[in-house]
Amino acid sequence: MKFFGLCAASVHGLALNSTITDDVAPMADPQILVMSKNPPFAIAWPYGASEPDIHHYEDFNYNGFYVKQTCSAKLNGRIYLFGGGTSIEDPQRQQVARVRGDITGLDILSTQLPFPMVEHSCAAIRNNWIMLCGTADTVSGEYSHQCNAFTEDGNGFLWKREPDTNGAHAKSAMVYSSRGYSVIIGGVDGYDSTVVETIHMREEYSDPQSAAWVQGKALPAPIEEHSAVAFDNGRVCVFGGWNDNNFGATKITYCIREPWILGTSSDVWGRRDELVIARRQHRTVLLTSGGHTELFHIGDSGHKAIEKWSDPNEFFDRWSTKATHGDFYGLQVPEAFII
């Protein structure tokens, strides 16, 4: 397989249970690094190519960190993974791991989460902090409303307590919009939820209390284990997930212009282009490179192809070109990043 050089990216936001939204300089063959319980691999699928090139990192050292029910984000060019694991007693539920710069493995950091977290969401805020919210199966067996923010600087690791969400959002999706809002979407609060909450982040993001979470426009149907993307025009789209109305994974996509607008606004979530393949426990990556905007839908709880969308309309809710590749197994709740 062809081996590719790395390219720099600057983070604009990501979703949850995280989805990554990166703007990438127009360089050749930007790649998406996919991590799961299997050895990671990098996908390079240039615009117009009929299929991707894939490079596997067979000797990658996970250092005992199990990529399952975790959340991840990219901050200042470095990739972090938070919590997760396999059981309620698993010490990983408070661990923070970081991908080595040469992509040879994970380092387990000396800092820990404030409390055990699993099936939670996180998003990078202005490339300064990572906000983490929503968790299930804590030691008490309850869903948590707590949010915390993390960063690493020259003096070490810093944590800040952020305002609690009004409802619980385990197995949700979380994005940060360039309009200055974090948005947490759906998930589980005892039952599958339609609740969307938003919070306005202070411009400098130096105050531990950013604002307060308020309820935005509710989803048309309850959903969990979905992915989401925030576009620079303010639009937010939600892809797939588990829908209790169907008792299964769904292909449905919902988009809204600005989910944080309340009151008299007539803007609501509307159904848009559907996934080619029904998915849950997946990730969606937004790639802007060389003047083209593309979406990659990766992973599921079973055998599923990678799905790439290209050639969107001006609103980023209709896509003219859709392609699939491969039959990947073991990509249940993967983590995916542009490198």
Quote the pLDDT of residue 18.
42
Return the amino acid letter for 276: V
Query: Is 2 among the domain residues?
Result: no
Residue 186 lies in a domain: yes
Element (DSSP H or E) covering residue 289: strand 283-289
Q: Environment class of residue 282 by beta-carbon count within 10 Å: exposed (0-12), middle (13-18) or buried (19+)?
A: buried
In the chain, how many domains are there? Answer: 1
How high is the pLDDT of residue 165? 93
Q: Which two tokens stand for residue 310?
A: 């290209």
The DSSP output letter for 334 is -
CATH for 40: 2.120.10.80
Asked whether residue 98 is assigned to any structural domain, the reply reads: yes
Tell me how far apart the alpha carbons of residues 164 and 168 are, in angstroms, rounded to a whole number.
9
Taking each continuous run of H as one helix and of E as one strand, the counts in the chain are 0, 30
- Is residue 225 situated within a structural domain? yes
The Cα-based distances of 125 to 12, 21, 234, 286 in angstroms read: 8, 11, 15, 16
CB 323 within 8 A of CB 311: no
213 falls within a domain: yes
Q: Give the end-to-end CA distance of the chain in Å, rounded to a whole number.
A: 17
- E strand or H helix that includes residue 78: strand 78-82
- Tell me the average confidence (pLDDT) per consecutive run of 10 residues in the chain, 339 residues long: 32 37 42 90 92 94 91 93 82 93 95 90 90 74 85 88 90 90 89 87 55 88 94 92 82 89 73 94 91 93 88 94 90 86
Domain for residue 4, yes or no?
no
Within a domain: 215: yes
pLDDT at 298: 95
Closest to 65 in 3D by CA, of 31, 91, 27, 30 = 91
CA 26 – CA 100 distance, rounded (Å): 24
Type of residue at 12: H
The pLDDT value given to residue 289: 82
Distance CA 104, CA 150 (A): 24
Q: How many Å separate Cα 276 from the centre of its chain? A: 20
Domain interval for residue 198? 9-338
Q: Name the CA dihedral angle for 109, 329, 118, 162, rounded to a multiple of 10 degrees.
A: 70
Residue 10 is predicted with a pLDDT of 28
Do the beta carbons of residue 97 and residue 72 sit within 8 Å?
Answer: no
**pLDDT for the residue 140:** 59
Residue 245 lies in a domain: yes
